[in-house]
Structure 1
């Protein structure tokens, strides 16, 4: 089947158990055909049910689905003897010759192994969903009549895609690739100041496909994920809508939060090292503590592009009202480890009577980051947090100047 055989708007089924791989497939496909009608599911039984109920123009399914595996779905589709054959891309972590021989008699349109080659996948989708030289443009839907900004933001809170990107991901990946493949430490050095990349990789490393001790740092996430998967997840973020803010006012707020996050993370790292604590975990908590505010700015960009009015006062009010709620919703939906979420909460306030030393460090670091260049450290040095950590004015001055 070629693209010319497709209807004006193709219907596509994606069946993938891992939530981050599923999201990546969705973004790559929508980057090729933004108008595609997508059904997305996480298990084979749901996929089989959808195949009985609907007619699809393309299927992407993982072999390792629960219930009904992807190979069984392919076998069921081929038994229908549809002409021309329904395009079916089979995805798998199996790259051994026996698995390939088992799949080939069922004539998958493509057999792609994890971690996916995104260029190869994109080319396959373009060949299947577009005629030569064709491209599809999708307009941003206008706001519903009577929609207010607070109502819009309330609706978007549970489905927002997170923060805009601070780092140019293509450049970061290119700089981290060498003759022997992806250099993880170089990649970490390139992307660690980006809250969105940090959050997504930590969340992916804690997803259903990975087991063991919960991952709470970017370093641990990169070392737990397959290198190719890390690269794909990072590059996939650049495919999403509004990863770059177009409004100067929103961008100014984002730059302020990015810098605040980076400064607090760096202070936390230095303090933790001085006190012989987990400096990577403290860094992660601080780099993520403004994730909700940044995610909100991205949704305000959606509002603006859809035709909504926006000024500096509306931005400030929205951040005050929804910023914390967006952060909480994202951390919960992405299932960041509870211990990391608790440490992030400590950047804002210390609750209860017993605090871990890491919680005290991140709280003190964010206090330092909020100081202007003309404000001194004396008041912070005399605070309860500093006293509990047993750090004084001279230590804080050294941390600030290092």
Structure 2
């Protein structure tokens, strides 16, 4: 068993938050105890390295400041023996760019979007000795910290929701079996609130080309491309507490996922009937309970970090108190497009002012999804939102009958 005090330091320098998070998870997967430093510009990298060199630098070619290539040149000027390992990640794969980098002897010159499994193997080869086995304990939690304080602190740093079990299993198999087929996985992605939200956020990040905002998963996948989309999904599957395991939390997760999917499906159906934007309506419906799911993931993290066993009352109280703040903080931190956030808000309340067709559709879909199974939705025709949409009792009665297994 390796001594954790020998854990290597790995410096990741990438201006894109989502790429940096993916790289972080891959390093943790390769060497769980690695000391990670994540920076966003070349000046910070040079400042950090003046106090000691890491065992590995992973740097984006387009790093703000002098850039990744010049940073590699500066590192090689130090003439360290052996040379500091340096992975240069770049979208520049033309012959001239490759020729410019080769004299500086990068340890790896990897085209973006890179192959996550290939990079993971390179990291293992570099950070582990042949036959070395590293086991890392879960980082400790302060024993004096109460659950309520833990959740309040987690709200501002939450990574989001857990993954659906079927999605987590499919991604884990993809990573372990080196089987990459986004077309096969895409239908599962459309069911998962966390993947949908994170990929939309990544597609709207500053690292992507500017233009119209992406507000649906289909738009996000098109902008990110299949390789980068799959990489981000694989990185998500590697995160801690991303799968609900506590027996008390699993039923809550299943109920909330079902509610999200039912609202999304009903919103899409209504939008298609009324010639609205059915994809945006589906997306907003799927994401409207992201805060509830994020609370469940934080409760799973509490258990994973050694927190005491939860009670049913604690879980209910946590959802009631923290779900809305978690959801609001997460959507803001992810910088989801304002139009999409407004649609999500309309699921819960319409507020004042002029209502868009899609906002009214989302509100009616939520009401319909909350009806007891088998109950006729025709009575919703009396609701303000339904009346404004011109929905009559006959159309509402023909809403798809969704069951707990659908």
Shorter-chain TM-score tier: over 0.9
Distance 1:331 1:300 in 2: 19
Deviation, structure 1 residue 380:
1.7
Distance 1:175 1:45 in 2: 39
Q: Out of 8, 15, 18, which is 2:6 matched to?
A: 8
Deviation, structure 1 residue 307:
2.5
After superposition, the CA RMSD in angstroms is 2.1
Distance 2:381 2:20 in 1: 48
Partner of 2:29: 31
Runs of 4+ in 1 over 3 A off after TM superposition: 167-176, 181-188
- Mapped contact 2:378–2:396 kept (Cα < 8 A): no
280-289 or 10-19, which deviates more:
10-19
338-347 or 234-243, which deviates more:
234-243
Deviation, structure 1 residue 185:
6.0
Structure-to-structure mapping, 1:250-329, within 5 angstroms: 250-309=249-308, 310-329=310-329
Partner of 2:154: 156
Partner of 2:399: 399
Structure 1: 5+ residue stretches without partners: none
Distance 1:122 1:77 in 2: 23
Distance 1:14 1:141 in 2: 21
Distance 2:324 2:29 in 1: 31
Deviation, structure 1 residue 381:
1.9
2:151 match: secondary structure: helix
2:131 match: secondary structure: coil
Distance 1:175 1:386 in 2: 44
Deviation, structure 1 residue 187:
4.2
- Mapped contact 1:265–1:365 kept (Cα < 8 A): yes
Deviation, structure 1 residue 218:
0.5
- Mapped contact 1:192–1:218 kept (Cα < 8 A): yes
Partner of 1:339: 339
Deviation, structure 1 residue 126:
0.4
Structure-to-structure mapping, 1:19-168, within 5 angstroms: 19-166=17-164, 168=166
- Mapped contact 1:188–1:218 kept (Cα < 8 A): no
Distance 1:238 1:97 in 2: 35
The TM-score, its normalising length taken from structure 1, stands at 0.93
- Mapped contact 2:167–2:192 kept (Cα < 8 A): no
Structure 2: 5+ residue stretches without partners: none
2:38 match: secondary structure: strand
Deviations along 1:98-146, one digit per CA (max 9) or x if unpaired, are: 1111101011111111011111101110011011222322212333132
The TM-score, its normalising length taken from structure 2, stands at 0.92
Deviation, structure 1 residue 24:
0.4
Distance 2:120 2:211 in 1: 33
**Alignment coverage as a number of residue pairs:** 394
43-52 or 294-303, which deviates more:
43-52
1:394 match: secondary structure: helix
Distance 2:245 2:358 in 1: 37
Distance 1:73 1:367 in 2: 56
Deviation, structure 1 residue 51:
1.7
Deviations along 1:364-384, one digit per CA (max 9) or x if unpaired, are: 101111111153324322111
Distance 1:247 1:16 in 2: 35
Deviation, structure 1 residue 190:
2.5
- Mapped contact 1:164–1:196 kept (Cα < 8 A): yes
Q: Out of 178, 187, 190, which is 2:188 matched to?
A: 190
Deviations along 1:4-45, one digit per CA (max 9) or x if unpaired, are: 9x9711111100111111110011001111211111011222
389-398 or 48-57, which deviates more:
48-57
Q: Out of 186, 199, 207, which is 1:201 matched to?
A: 199
1:213 match: secondary structure: coil
